[in-house]
Amino acid sequence: MDSQNSSDIQEEELFEHHKVVAPNGQKPLRVDKFLMNFIENATRNKIQQAAKDGYVWVNGQSVKQNYKVKAADEVKVMFAHPPHEFLLVAENIPLDIVYEDEALLVLNKPAGMVVHPGHGNYSGTLINALLHHIENLPVNSSERPGLVHRIDKDTSGLLVVAKTEKAMTHLSKQFFDKTSEREYVALVWGNIADDEGTIEGHLGRHPKNRLQMHVFPEADQGKEAVTHYKVLERLGYVTLVSCVLETGRTHQIRVHMKHLGHTLFNDERYGGEKILKGTTFTKYKQFVENAFKILPRQALHAKTLGFVHPVTKKMMRFETELPEDMTTCIEKWRAYSQYNQ
């Protein structure tokens, strides 16, 4: 191999590629703003810098950040990032372990912690912490050590981690077969009409914003998704609700509740960071903005987790209390709703 080709391959390994084809009906939009809708954790400044460096292309031609993307344009961007071997580094990060034995551990993930390394999050993740805590973690089909399932960065709550190959296989099958038990507690906008119900609708990537998931009523798109919900407490302009997952799709509860007309409180990705219900009074606006500050993330907590132990074959069930940011926000809404009855 000549030195030129060797150099090209090394450079190729040091870049993260993203390719997006603008959907039909795409109105002209600056390429930096367009890419913000498709690349998770990429700041506008980073995209603009990539364009200045000549690493943003439209239909094979390098463009500046003010290029207007149109329907059917093929947009490609490259970002520098650490080589793959640096992504899985053990880091001494404290873990809130609820249960642990030789086969598995159950932990309570705090909001704000990313589960596995990826674009924009190369350290400080749950996997970095697990690699420090456990030697020789088994790897799943996506090459992610120990992971049987995952929860979003800004969702708190329970996760089970496999410590052996046998546990990985056994637990993964339970999640695939929908026999595991997963209950979440969410605070959502609005007063849900029914005390309980089931939301069904295939989930897939949003056709215009790839960072969002979308409910497709027809079964020919997306994957089957089923969420059972039950109202826990009505708090005026918001509702506290229990959501039990029958399936486990990306953003499932967040998308299903929005589809029902009740977006999660302060869920920025799905519009819940806006005042969606209530009055126009200035005092109410100030109240909601203070509640956002108390709970600066989507109001979602993985409260209950149940599964059959891969070795003992006994049913195990774990529960956690709601974290302080959620309980404080709920108490604030409770007091407000009682005062304004």
The whole-number pLDDT of residue 334 equals: 96
At 78, is the pLDDT very low, low, confident or very high (cuts 50, 70, 90)?
confident
User: Residues 26, 208: contact at Cβ < 8 Å?
Assistant: yes
Does 77 have pLDDT greater than 90? no
> pLDDT-derived band of residue 182, with 50, 70 and 90 as boundaries?
very high
Q: Summarize the confidence of residues 122-129 as an average pLDDT.
A: 86
Taking residues 59-77, report their average pLDDT: 90
Could you confirm whether domain 85-176 is CATH 3.30.2350.10?
A: yes
pLDDT > 50? residue 180: yes
Which are the catalytic amino acids? 152
Rounded distance, CA 65 to CA 56, Å?
A: 8
What percent of the chain shows pLDDT beyond 90?
56
What mean pLDDT comes out for the span 2-25? 53
pLDDT score at 52: 87
Q: Is the pLDDT of residue 40 over 80?
A: no
Q: What tokens does 5 get?
A: 């080709």
**What would the mean pLDDT of 119-145 be, rounded to a whole number?**
81
Of the listed ranges 70-74, 108-112, 315-319, the least confidently predicted one is 70-74
pLDDT band at 10 (very low <50, low <70, confident <90, very high): very low
pLDDT in tens, 239-272: 999 999 999 888 999 999 999 999 999 999 899 9
Alpha carbons 113 and 145: distance in angstroms, whole number: 16
- Structure pTM? 0.76
Q: Determine the Cα–Cα distance for residues 37 and 318; give it in Å rounded to an integer.
A: 37
Residue 173 has which token pair? Answer: 């099958």
The neighbouring-strand residues paired with 161 are: 105, 147
Q: What pLDDT, on a 0 to 100 scale, did the predictor assign at position 207?
A: 75
Supply the pLDDT for residue 160.
Answer: 96
pLDDT above 90: residue 307? yes
Is residue 108's pLDDT more than 50?
yes
Q: Tell me whether residue 146 is exposed, middle or buried, using C-beta atoms within 10 angstroms of its C-beta: 0 to 12, 13 to 18, 19 or more.
A: buried
Mean pLDDT score, 81-100: 78
CB atoms within 10 A of CB 237: 21
pLDDT of residue 9: 28
CA proximity to 70, closest of 46, 36, 34: 34
110: closest CA among 331, 323, 299? 323
Rg (CA), the chain: 22
Mean pLDDT (whole number) for 301-324: 97
Rounded-to-integer distance, Cα 140 and Cα 138, Å: 7
Is-contact 88 116, C-beta < 8 A?
no
Q: How far is CA 157 from CA 28, 97, 109, 112, in A?
A: 41, 11, 5, 11
Confidence (pLDDT) at 4: 33
pLDDT at residue 141, rounded to an integer: 62
Helices 282-294, 324-339: inter-axial angle, 10-degree rounding: 160
Residue 86 pLDDT exceeds 60: no
Q: Please determine whether the domains at 3-81 and 85-176 fall in the same fold group of CATH.
A: no
Mean pLDDT value across the chain: 87
CATH superfamily, with its number, for domain 181-339: Pseudouridine synthase (3.30.2350.10)
Q: Does the pLDDT value for residue 80 go beyond 80?
A: no
Distance (Å, whole) CA 216 – CA 86: 38
The closest of 317, 52, 325 to 180, measured between CA atoms, is 317
Specify the range with the lowest mean pLDDT, choosing from 46-50, 110-114, 140-144, 228-232.
140-144
Identify the H or E element spanning 173. helix 165-176
Mean pLDDT within 13-37? 79
Note the pLDDT of residue 317.
Answer: 97
Strand ranges (E), 55-94 = 56-58, 61-62, 68-69, 74-80
Question: Minimal CA–CA distance to 109: which of 169, 167, 168, 149?
Answer: 149
Q: Where are the domains of the chain?
A: 3-81, 85-176, 181-339
Question: Which numeric CATH code is attached to 3-81?
Answer: 3.10.290.10
Q: 53: which 2 tokens?
A: 């460096």
Q: Does residue 2 have a pLDDT over 50?
A: no
Contacts of 30 (CB under 8 A, 6+ apart): 65, 66, 67, 68, 69
Say what the pLDDT of residue 1 is: 34
pLDDT the model gives residue 12? 35
